[in-house]
Amino acid sequence: MGARLRNVTVLTTRDGRWWLIYIPELGCISAARSRAEVRASARDLAAVWLNVPANTINVGRIRYLQVHAVLLVDRFRRDLASPPRLQHPEIGAGL
């Protein structure tokens, strides 16, 4: 039986000569030298972050944003400042 693939979505924008890569599901950020390298770099980033082999990561959707890199980094910082809270389905309280 093969390993189960983990799907990730990637947000990316150009910053000078680099492409910034942000994976919202994981809250991690990296960079690639070219647009052609974004998918492979995102796969490697997710694999390292999750401590799994790269062939278990599926980079599904890549959203190429027309925003300044600062806005992408600001979104990353906001996500870090307010991590998602787990909610118990019966109690409803954040855990």
> Can you give the three-state secondary structure of 5-25, one letter per residue?
CEEEEEEEEEECCEEEEEECC
**CATH class entry, domain 6-81:** alpha beta
Q: Tens-digit pLDDT profile for the chain (95 aa)?
A: 456 899 999 999 888 899 999 998 898 889 999 999 999 999 999 999 999 999 999 999 899 887 765 666 677 667 656 655 444 444 444 43
Query: In sequence order, what E strands does the chain have?
Result: 6-15, 18-23, 28-32, 57-64
**Burial group, residue 37, by CB count within 10 angstroms (0-12, 13-18, 19+):** middle
